[in-house]
Structures are given as C-alpha cells and as structure tokens.
Amino acid sequence: MGHPSPTAKQGNIYSEPLTKGLHRDLGPYKEAGFVYCKQCGFICNTSRDAKDFTEYAGETITSGNYLTNGSFENWTGSTLDSWTVTGTITKTSTSGYFDKSDDGSYSIQITRSGTTKSLTQSYATPSNLNSKTVSFRARVKCSTKDVIRLGLKVGSTTYYSNYNRGQEMFEDISVVVICPASVSSIDVYIYADNADGTAYVDCAMLMSNGNATEATGNSGCPQCGSFNYY
C-alpha cells in the first residue's frame, strides 16, 4: 500500500503490510461474517480474531417484533390469526407474491374496489414503550400506487405512513413515532383506503429503539457473551 510522502512533491512512499503482531493489517471484515446475537440483538462478526470490544459501543439495539403473526403465516382456515380484519383478505403462497426475508411462504392479498379494507392489532403491554422511538413497517407489493398505507395509533393519536409508491417489487413503507412518557395503548393498522387495486403485504413489524449499548462481554457476543447468533 502506498502512502503519500509528507515531504516529497511527487511520488509515494511504499510500505510493506504488517502480517504479524498487535498492529497487523487484518483488512475489512467480510460482509458475510456479520451476524446478530439471538440473546441481545448486538451485531457481531464471526471472522473477528482479536475482537475490539468497544468497536460497536454506542450503537442502539433495536427490539424484536412486538407483533404476533406479523409474517402472516398463521391462519385458521381462511381467517388470519391474531389480527382484526375489516373486509375480506386472502392468503397467497404464489412465488413472487410473498417476501422470503421472513422465512415464510405466505402473504396477505388485499383487493380494494371502492370499499376501504383494514387490518389491526393491539400491543398488549404499551407501557413498555414509554418514551421510546417506535416504528411500524411492512413490505408491500402493488403495481398501483396509493393503495396501502400504515397507521400507528399511540393513545388517542394516529400517525400515518406514506402510501405505497406502486412498483412490481416489494417495497418498505413505515411510520415512526416518538412515544410520550406514558403510553396507554398502541395499535397498528394496515389500510387499503384510497386507490383501487390489488396489493400483497408481508413482514409487518412493530419495533422500538432501546438505549445505546455498552460493550461488556469478553467472549462470544461483545455485548452479552452469548454464542447464539443468526
């Protein structure tokens, strides 16, 4: 690797890479080596030999999904489990119409034709989200724009996402809210309440940001010491 000379007006000073010792050149961590700790959510890297335990200190750990059946995999007959549905929705397992990122094989199909349809679910312990930043997001596939939007109701106030943009691939839509110091209720909504069209929705997630992390572990996960990754 060449370094510009601090004195020369042209040329470079070439140095040999360090291959041994504390300051050896390890190079960038492989992207494929990044994993997340199942115990606490901290980002880890499986190829890290001599771990720098403070490297990721100060990052914010995001919670897991607070929703039940947010991937829309669980049904009782033709009824979607854990959600309250207004209007008719159907499940689909056709390739290309569900998002594989949640490891499932179903999504919900919502067809709006002049009548609003919606799904809602309430979070059982809203006080857990006091003063936290909360996000509700979903993946939407719809070639018609302005069909689907999300709602996040905190107490008596409902906040809305933008409508879907209208494209052939799945897209993320989301709404983010900073909760007050005391949260009495949290409800999420998926609305088909504007343009007519058929949309496919998958991977609905309600999450919150926690406090900044501090690296405390000395083996395994730098945060909690767990060796259980995903």
Question: Which H, E and C letters describe 74-88, residue by residue?
Answer: CEECCEECCCEEECC
Could you tell me the mean pLDDT of each successive run of 10 residues in the chain, 230 residues long? 49 56 57 67 61 48 82 94 96 88 86 96 94 94 97 97 93 95 97 97 89 53 66
Residues 47 and 29: beta-carbon distance below 8 Å: yes
**Which domains does the chain possess?**
1-59+213-230 (no CATH), 75-210 (2.60.120.260)
Check residue 52 and give its pLDDT.
Answer: 42
Check residue 49 and give its pLDDT.
Answer: 36
* Residue among 70, 85, 67 nearest 202 (CA): 70
Name every residue whose Cβ is closer than 8 Å to that of residue 188 and which is 6 or more positions away in sequence.
Answer: 67, 120, 121, 123, 136, 150, 151, 152, 153, 204, 206
pTM: 0.67
At residue 202's C-alpha, the angle toward residues 37 and 141, to 5°, is: 125
CB count within 10 Å of CB 74 equals 14
Distance CA 4, CA 20 (A): 24
CA 24, distance to chain mean position in Å, is 35
Report which residue type is found at 115: T
Check residue 201 and give its pLDDT.
Answer: 97
Check residue 16 and give its pLDDT.
Answer: 61
